[in-house]
Amino acid sequence: MNRVVVITGASAGIGAAVARELGRRGDSLVLAARTADALQQVAAGISSPTRVVTADVTRRGDVERLRDEAMCAFGHVDVWINNAGRGIVRPVLELTDEDVDEMMAVNVKSALYGMQAIVPIFIERRRGHVINMSSFLGRVPIASPRSAYSAAKAALNSLTANLRMDLQRTHPDIHVSVVMPGLVATDFATHARGSTGPVPPGAVGSPMKPQSAEDVAAAVADLIDHPVAELYTNPASAALAARYFEDVGRFERDAQSR
Protein backbone atom coordinates (compact mmCIF):
# COMPACT_ATOMS: atom_id res chain seq x y z
CA MET A 1 0.00 0.00 0.00
CA ASN A 2 1.53 3.30 -1.11
CA ARG A 3 0.98 6.19 1.26
CA VAL A 4 1.45 9.95 1.34
CA VAL A 5 4.02 10.72 4.04
CA VAL A 6 5.18 14.10 5.36
CA ILE A 7 8.65 14.10 6.95
CA THR A 8 10.10 17.10 8.77
CA GLY A 9 13.84 17.40 9.31
CA ALA A 10 14.26 15.46 6.08
CA SER A 11 17.45 17.07 4.77
CA ALA A 12 19.91 14.80 6.62
CA GLY A 13 20.36 12.01 9.14
CA ILE A 14 17.36 9.91 10.15
CA GLY A 15 14.89 12.08 8.23
CA ALA A 16 16.75 11.66 4.95
CA ALA A 17 17.18 7.92 5.56
CA VAL A 18 13.45 7.52 6.23
CA ALA A 19 12.68 9.42 3.04
CA ARG A 20 14.93 7.14 1.00
CA GLU A 21 13.49 3.99 2.61
CA LEU A 22 9.89 5.03 2.00
CA GLY A 23 10.72 6.24 -1.49
CA ARG A 24 12.13 2.81 -2.37
CA ARG A 25 8.80 1.23 -1.62
CA GLY A 26 6.87 3.81 -3.65
CA ASP A 27 5.36 6.09 -1.03
CA SER A 28 4.63 9.67 -2.09
CA LEU A 29 6.67 12.06 0.02
CA VAL A 30 6.59 15.64 1.22
CA LEU A 31 10.01 16.55 2.61
CA ALA A 32 10.52 19.60 4.83
CA ALA A 33 13.54 21.33 6.32
CA ARG A 34 15.07 24.78 6.44
CA THR A 35 17.79 24.11 3.85
CA ALA A 36 16.46 23.93 0.31
CA ASP A 37 19.67 22.67 -1.34
CA ALA A 38 20.04 19.74 1.05
CA LEU A 39 16.37 18.82 0.60
CA GLN A 40 16.75 18.87 -3.17
CA GLN A 41 19.75 16.54 -2.93
CA VAL A 42 17.71 14.05 -0.90
CA ALA A 43 14.77 14.32 -3.28
CA ALA A 44 17.02 13.80 -6.30
CA GLY A 45 17.81 10.28 -5.13
CA ILE A 46 14.14 9.29 -4.71
CA SER A 47 12.16 7.92 -7.65
CA SER A 48 8.69 8.06 -6.09
CA PRO A 49 6.58 11.27 -6.27
CA THR A 50 8.25 13.82 -3.97
CA ARG A 51 7.47 17.41 -3.05
CA VAL A 52 10.08 19.59 -1.30
CA VAL A 53 8.93 22.32 1.09
CA THR A 54 11.37 24.73 2.70
CA ALA A 55 10.06 25.41 6.18
CA ASP A 56 11.14 26.32 9.69
CA VAL A 57 8.96 24.04 11.77
CA THR A 58 9.51 26.09 14.92
CA ARG A 59 7.07 28.53 13.27
CA ARG A 60 3.44 27.50 13.39
CA GLY A 61 2.66 29.27 10.12
CA ASP A 62 5.36 27.31 8.29
CA VAL A 63 3.97 24.02 9.60
CA GLU A 64 0.46 24.93 8.51
CA ARG A 65 1.83 25.89 5.08
CA LEU A 66 3.60 22.51 4.92
CA ARG A 67 0.29 20.76 5.60
CA ASP A 68 -1.47 22.84 2.96
CA GLU A 69 1.20 22.16 0.33
CA ALA A 70 1.04 18.43 1.05
CA MET A 71 -2.73 18.45 0.69
CA CYS A 72 -2.51 20.47 -2.51
CA ALA A 73 0.11 18.15 -4.00
CA PHE A 74 -1.46 14.79 -3.15
CA GLY A 75 -5.01 15.44 -1.93
CA HIS A 76 -4.49 13.82 1.46
CA VAL A 77 -1.87 12.79 4.02
CA ASP A 78 -1.62 9.29 5.49
CA VAL A 79 1.41 9.65 7.77
CA TRP A 80 3.00 12.71 9.37
CA ILE A 81 6.48 12.22 10.83
CA ASN A 82 7.70 14.92 13.23
CA ASN A 83 11.42 14.31 12.92
CA ALA A 84 13.02 17.77 13.20
CA GLY A 85 15.27 18.07 16.23
CA ARG A 86 18.47 19.48 17.65
CA GLY A 87 20.72 18.35 20.48
CA ILE A 88 22.73 20.15 23.11
CA VAL A 89 25.88 19.54 25.10
CA ARG A 90 25.41 21.46 28.34
CA PRO A 91 25.18 20.23 31.96
CA VAL A 92 22.04 21.19 33.87
CA LEU A 93 23.76 23.82 36.02
CA GLU A 94 25.15 25.60 32.95
CA LEU A 95 21.90 25.82 30.96
CA THR A 96 20.81 29.27 29.84
CA ASP A 97 17.32 30.47 29.04
CA GLU A 98 18.28 30.45 25.37
CA ASP A 99 19.44 26.82 25.60
CA VAL A 100 16.16 25.65 27.11
CA ASP A 101 14.01 27.77 24.82
CA GLU A 102 15.70 26.40 21.69
CA MET A 103 15.48 22.78 22.85
CA MET A 104 11.77 23.16 23.55
CA ALA A 105 11.09 25.03 20.31
CA VAL A 106 12.89 22.58 18.03
CA ASN A 107 12.13 19.30 19.79
CA VAL A 108 8.69 19.89 21.31
CA LYS A 109 6.85 22.86 19.83
CA SER A 110 7.63 21.86 16.24
CA ALA A 111 6.00 18.47 16.87
CA LEU A 112 3.10 20.10 18.69
CA TYR A 113 2.50 22.34 15.68
CA GLY A 114 2.61 19.30 13.42
CA MET A 115 0.09 17.39 15.53
CA GLN A 116 -2.24 20.36 15.75
CA ALA A 117 -1.98 20.94 12.00
CA ILE A 118 -2.60 17.41 10.74
CA VAL A 119 -4.72 15.60 13.33
CA PRO A 120 -7.90 17.57 12.55
CA ILE A 121 -7.45 16.41 8.94
CA PHE A 122 -7.03 12.85 10.16
CA ILE A 123 -10.18 13.21 12.25
CA GLU A 124 -12.12 14.25 9.15
CA ARG A 125 -10.83 11.19 7.27
CA ARG A 126 -11.14 9.00 10.40
CA ARG A 127 -7.68 7.59 9.85
CA GLY A 128 -4.04 8.61 9.82
CA HIS A 129 -0.76 8.11 11.65
CA VAL A 130 1.36 10.61 13.58
CA ILE A 131 4.93 9.49 14.31
CA ASN A 132 7.01 11.58 16.70
CA MET A 133 10.74 10.94 16.61
CA SER A 134 12.00 11.10 20.18
CA SER A 135 15.10 9.60 21.80
CA PHE A 136 16.07 6.94 24.28
CA LEU A 137 17.54 9.84 26.27
CA GLY A 138 13.99 10.99 26.95
CA ARG A 139 13.66 7.88 29.12
CA VAL A 140 17.08 7.13 30.57
CA PRO A 141 19.79 9.71 31.48
CA ILE A 142 22.80 7.90 30.05
CA ALA A 143 24.27 11.11 28.59
CA SER A 144 23.78 13.83 31.20
CA PRO A 145 25.37 16.65 29.14
CA ARG A 146 22.41 16.26 26.77
CA SER A 147 20.28 17.58 29.68
CA ALA A 148 17.78 19.95 28.06
CA TYR A 149 17.54 17.80 24.92
CA SER A 150 16.64 14.80 27.07
CA ALA A 151 14.10 16.87 28.99
CA ALA A 152 12.53 18.09 25.75
CA LYS A 153 12.24 14.55 24.43
CA ALA A 154 10.64 13.46 27.72
CA ALA A 155 8.08 16.22 27.20
CA LEU A 156 7.51 15.03 23.64
CA ASN A 157 6.94 11.48 24.89
CA SER A 158 4.29 12.77 27.29
CA LEU A 159 2.51 14.90 24.69
CA THR A 160 2.45 11.93 22.32
CA ALA A 161 0.94 9.64 24.95
CA ASN A 162 -1.70 12.19 25.92
CA LEU A 163 -2.76 12.72 22.30
CA ARG A 164 -3.03 8.98 21.85
CA MET A 165 -5.26 8.74 24.93
CA ASP A 166 -7.44 11.56 23.59
CA LEU A 167 -8.01 9.74 20.29
CA GLN A 168 -7.99 6.05 21.03
CA ARG A 169 -11.62 5.64 22.09
CA THR A 170 -13.31 7.82 19.47
CA HIS A 171 -10.84 7.42 16.57
CA PRO A 172 -9.21 3.98 16.80
CA ASP A 173 -7.85 4.20 13.25
CA ILE A 174 -5.77 7.28 14.02
CA HIS A 175 -2.45 5.99 15.33
CA VAL A 176 -0.05 8.07 17.41
CA SER A 177 3.44 6.62 17.86
CA VAL A 178 6.68 7.68 19.47
CA VAL A 179 10.00 6.32 18.18
CA MET A 180 12.98 6.25 20.52
CA PRO A 181 16.31 5.53 18.81
CA GLY A 182 19.38 5.00 20.94
CA LEU A 183 22.85 5.90 19.71
CA VAL A 184 22.69 6.54 15.96
CA ALA A 185 25.71 7.08 13.73
CA THR A 186 24.88 10.47 12.19
CA ASP A 187 26.23 14.02 12.41
CA PHE A 188 23.48 14.94 14.89
CA ALA A 189 25.85 15.24 17.88
CA THR A 190 28.34 17.29 15.90
CA HIS A 191 25.67 19.91 15.17
CA ALA A 192 24.36 19.99 18.74
CA ARG A 193 24.27 23.33 20.53
CA GLY A 194 27.54 23.70 22.44
CA SER A 195 29.15 20.67 20.76
CA THR A 196 32.90 20.43 20.41
CA GLY A 197 32.81 17.16 18.49
CA PRO A 198 30.78 14.07 17.71
CA VAL A 199 30.93 12.55 21.22
CA PRO A 200 29.51 14.56 24.14
CA PRO A 201 32.15 14.99 26.87
CA GLY A 202 31.24 13.14 30.06
CA ALA A 203 28.72 10.88 28.38
CA VAL A 204 28.04 7.73 30.38
CA GLY A 205 28.77 4.45 28.60
CA SER A 206 25.96 2.24 27.38
CA PRO A 207 25.67 -1.43 26.40
CA MET A 208 23.80 -0.36 23.26
CA LYS A 209 25.68 -0.60 19.99
CA PRO A 210 25.34 2.32 17.57
CA GLN A 211 22.73 1.97 14.87
CA SER A 212 22.83 3.41 11.39
CA ALA A 213 20.22 5.90 10.22
CA GLU A 214 19.15 3.22 7.75
CA ASP A 215 18.46 0.81 10.63
CA VAL A 216 16.15 3.39 12.20
CA ALA A 217 14.51 4.10 8.85
CA ALA A 218 13.71 0.42 8.37
CA ALA A 219 12.13 0.35 11.83
CA VAL A 220 10.02 3.41 10.99
CA ALA A 221 8.86 1.83 7.72
CA ASP A 222 7.77 -1.27 9.62
CA LEU A 223 6.01 0.91 12.20
CA ILE A 224 3.95 2.50 9.43
CA ASP A 225 2.88 -0.96 8.30
CA HIS A 226 2.32 -2.25 11.84
CA PRO A 227 1.48 0.68 14.17
CA VAL A 228 2.38 0.45 17.85
CA ALA A 229 2.32 3.10 20.58
CA GLU A 230 6.05 3.14 21.35
CA LEU A 231 9.07 1.81 19.51
CA TYR A 232 12.64 1.47 20.74
CA THR A 233 14.67 1.00 17.58
CA ASN A 234 17.60 -0.69 19.35
CA PRO A 235 16.75 -4.14 20.76
CA ALA A 236 18.74 -3.38 23.93
CA SER A 237 16.85 -0.16 24.61
CA ALA A 238 13.64 -1.56 26.08
CA ALA A 239 15.50 -3.82 28.51
CA LEU A 240 17.78 -0.98 29.57
CA ALA A 241 14.84 1.34 30.16
CA ALA A 242 13.05 -1.31 32.21
CA ARG A 243 16.16 -1.78 34.35
CA TYR A 244 16.38 1.96 34.93
CA PHE A 245 12.78 2.30 36.09
CA GLU A 246 12.90 -0.82 38.26
CA ASP A 247 15.68 0.62 40.41
CA VAL A 248 16.85 4.13 39.52
CA GLY A 249 19.39 4.31 42.31
CA ARG A 250 21.08 1.04 41.42
CA PHE A 251 21.09 1.88 37.72
CA GLU A 252 22.82 5.21 38.37
CA ARG A 253 25.38 3.66 40.73
CA ASP A 254 26.18 0.99 38.15
CA ALA A 255 26.48 3.62 35.43
CA GLN A 256 28.97 5.66 37.43
CA SER A 257 31.13 2.59 38.01
CA ARG A 258 31.58 1.88 34.31
d(CA 90, CA 25): 40
In 34-158, beta strands by DSSP E: 50-54, 79-82, 128-133
Selecting among 113, 149, 232, 244, the annotated active-site residue is 149
In 155-229, beta strands by DSSP E: 174-180
Q: Give kind and range of the element (H or E) at residue 85.
A: none
Largest CA distance in the chain: 56
d(CA 61, CA 34): 14
d(CA 132, CA 156): 8
The DSSP symbol for 109 reads: I
Query: Catalytic residue at 113?
Result: no
Catalytic residues: 149
